[in-house]
Amino acid sequence: MGETTSPFTPVPDRHVRGACPHDCPDTCAWTVTVRDGRAIELRADREHPYTAGGLCVKVNDFLEDRVYHPDRILHPLRRTGPKGSHQFEQIGWDVAVDEIAARLRAIATEDGAEAILPYSFMGTQGLVQGSAFSNRFFSRLGASRLIRNVCGAAGSSGIEATLGTSQGILPEDIERSRFIVLWGTNTITTNLHLWPFIRRARQAGATVVVIDPLRTRTAESADQHIRPLPGTDAALALGLMRVIVDEGLWDRDYVESYTLGFDRLRERLAGYSVERVSTITRVPVDTIVGLARAIATTRPSTIRLLVGMEHHAHGSMAFRTIACIPALIGSWRDRGGGLLYMTDLLADALDWDAVLRPVAGAKPTRAVNLAQIGHALTDPSVSPPIKALVVYNSNPAAIAPNQRLVLEGLRRDDLFLVVLEHFMTDTAAHADIVLPATTQAEHLDLNWSWGQPYLTLNQPAIQPVGEALPNSEIFRRLARRLGLDDDAFAETDEEVVRAALQSDHPFLEGITYQSLIERGWARFKVPDDWRPYVEGGFGTPSGKCEFYSETLAQAGMDPLPTWDPAPESPGGDPSLAARYPLILLSAKGASHFLNSSYAHVARAREAEAPPRLDISQPDAAARAIADGDEVEALNDRASVRFVARVGDRVPPGVVAAPSGWWASHSPSGLSVNALTSDGLSDRGEGPDFHDTLVEVRRGT
């Protein structure tokens, strides 16, 4: 008998390039391995210069935690019980789209299209699934607009008032710095892939200083940790500049050639003696003087800012004030010197009009701030009232401040709520219709980064699981059902990506759809020696770094750097501070949560549990609180239960609880955001939720 061969030929594994979609400055490149149509492994791209073969603990198990998690929503659902009851029935896509279209059409007819509001943020940073077709849909519908300024807007507006743009140095160049100030950023937890560059700088002799009220993982790894009182960063910056000017450490040539308003700045600094600044910030005089001398005399020196510190009533002014320091000391001259913030301007090289397809000549509709959704849903004076809310790429029940008000609004019987989701979040539990959305492994997208200079193409590795659809296709179907027959909805996802790359901006030179298909990612074509302001060239009206800003003066704001206490702070309303003497910070300190993502994973919750409130030893002793006690944090907005963690993670006068917990998983049915303020910042319309005062007492 002759030799036989098997009729089955093994199909080799496929390796599909993609990108992490999450709201993070790192935007890691990854590769998904597919066998027989199933994704079996997801690994960091070892060739990517920034990702460098490593993912964070949050994303390492992406396939198990998101794509194939047993609790994933795989079919359209219709609510059958009270809002929040988790009672739903499965329906078909045609039925779901018909019902949504009918309700939106009826609301637009009865109350006007502005009674419809989209709600989204950075659940995905991709152009296509994040904003392309949703923007086209809601703009053509005439719905209210959402101001998505929860992160970045206040800080950027402040830096722009000083520099004219928010663009600073590239993150890789921090490796060349010899004095690095990480101001208000927990790099190791929230910007992990920048840390190797900082580590190499330290190996070459750099000093790393962390300025943060909290003793974070990054602070523990630094050479020096400076702990100002929250909301006093502008005062600290003014104190540093006062020392620099008094001791003649400023760069006279750079200041004279490339700045505006130095004499007026000098007059302003006269009001900020080191002693006064020490009283405001609670930072010792010697520490302020030593930091000022070091940052001014060590070359190159870099200040690294991220978004946490902007979440104050005067957050924009704080960033504006800090942004003055590099010009004052001339650190923009040096490669690896200056200010490192975001790389958003690189993304401006893309053709955003081709992505968003705005309606030509359309009048702006009503705007609602994302951070104030609770008021927008519950305030009877809002006209027209919001009758329909369409949520995608977000979980407002968990992430928005003043959580009790948000939940009250979501529970309105007359609110038609549609949620596009992967899991039954606290928001989705209140929905009338829940639509299953694809994960990053199942759709095409183009991912830019606000923290590094690489553009990454995410290719779909597998077919959608269950009946999940990409956001793009969901909004196409809704548009067709509502009769929005604009050719903007005829484009495919690939055509949107190709259109975004059809730009003559020099940063996109040589970057094509085909080149991204082949390699997966590309570095924007910025020069290797990127020193944007070595010879001035600022984006301000004067072309100089503006210590004095006529733009701010015309807007009725102080044209010079300054510091003022927030209304809800120890230096603000005395009666409020007397009742609630502790400042609450709700920072991203949870290693296993990413904003509100992954809080659905039992393993992640167990790693973070229980929800803890950090309190200093003096403050705990004054309240007879011991480590491990059940405690209650309260203010006029809510009362929330935690387990006390007594120690030195926070300074006296400050308490901290991690963000990311869902209310439904929290002991009191509320998370830390039930306590947080929902006011807005001085510029940029960002939230002020770090200006929150509470009292803490032992649980009963």
* pLDDT attached to residue 660: 85
From the list 476, 500, 471, 510, the residue with the least C-alpha distance to 490 is 476
* pLDDT attached to residue 649: 96
User: Does 294 lie in the same domain as 170?
Assistant: yes
d(CA 337, CA 177): 6
- CATH number for the domain that contains residue 641: 2.40.40.20
User: Does 622 lie in the same domain as 513?
Assistant: no
Q: Is pTM beyond 0.85 here?
A: yes
User: Does 389 lie in the same domain as 330?
Assistant: no
- CATH number for the domain that contains residue 281: 3.40.228.10
User: Does 281 lie in the same domain as 184?
Assistant: yes
Strand order of the β-sheet with 38-44 is 14-19, 29-35, 38-44
User: Does 329 lie in the same domain as 367?
Assistant: no
User: Does 333 lie in the same domain as 351?
Assistant: no
Question: Does 560 map to a domain?
Answer: no
d(CA 188, CA 56): 10
Question: Does 553 map to a domain?
Answer: no
Question: Does 645 map to a domain?
Answer: yes
Q: 647: number of CA atoms within 13 Å, CB side?
A: 13
User: Does 243 lie in the same domain as 102?
Assistant: no
User: Does 617 lie in the same domain as 676?
Assistant: yes
What does the angle CA 38 – CA 495 – CA 444 come to, to the nearest 5 degrees? 20
Question: Does 50 map to a domain?
Answer: no
Q: Is the pLDDT of residue 3 over 60?
A: no
Instruction: Give the pLDDT band (50/70/90) at residue 29.
Output: very high
pLDDT tens-digit series, residues 251-303: 999 999 999 999 999 999 999 999 999 999 999 999 999 999 999 999 999 99
Q: Is the pLDDT of residue 358 over 60?
A: yes
Mean pLDDT of 207-224: 97
Give the domain range for residue 176. Answer: 154-341
* pLDDT attached to residue 344: 77
Mean pLDDT of 604-613: 85
pLDDT tens-digit series, residues 134-147: 999 999 999 999 99
Q: What percentage of the chain has pLDDT greater than the value 70?
A: 98
User: Does 115 lie in the same domain as 212?
Assistant: no
User: Does 685 lie in the same domain as 585?
Assistant: yes
* pLDDT attached to residue 11: 73
Among 481-495, 570-584, 586-600, where is mean pLDDT lowest?
Answer: 586-600
Mean pLDDT of 649-675: 93
Q: Residue for token digits 């939106």?
A: 104
What does 477-508 look like in DSSP terms, one character per residue?
HHHHHTT---GGGT--HHHHHHHHH----GGG
Mean pLDDT of 320-333: 98
Residues 358-393, buried b or exposed e (16+ Cβ, 10 A)? eeeeeeebbebbbbbbbbbbbeeeeeebbbbbbbbb
- If DSSP codes are grouped into helix, strand and coil, which group holds residue 199? helix
- CATH number for the domain that contains residue 104: 3.40.50.740
Instruction: Give the pLDDT band (50/70/90) at residue 150.
Output: confident
Q: What percentage of the chain has pLDDT greater than the value 90?
A: 89
* pLDDT attached to residue 50: 95
* pLDDT attached to residue 2: 44
User: Does 137 lie in the same domain as 253?
Assistant: no
- The pLDDT mean for the chain works out to 95
Q: Is the pLDDT of residue 420 over 60?
A: yes
Q: Is the pLDDT of residue 48 over 50?
A: yes
Q: Between 653 and 9, whose confidence is greater?
A: 653
From the list 309, 237, 303, the residue with the least C-alpha distance to 268 is 237
* pLDDT attached to residue 10: 66
Q: Is the pLDDT of residue 212 over 70?
A: yes
* pLDDT attached to residue 7: 53
* pLDDT attached to residue 678: 95
Q: Is the pLDDT of residue 502 over 80?
A: yes
User: Does 143 lie in the same domain as 228?
Assistant: no
Count up the domains in the chain and report the number. Answer: 3
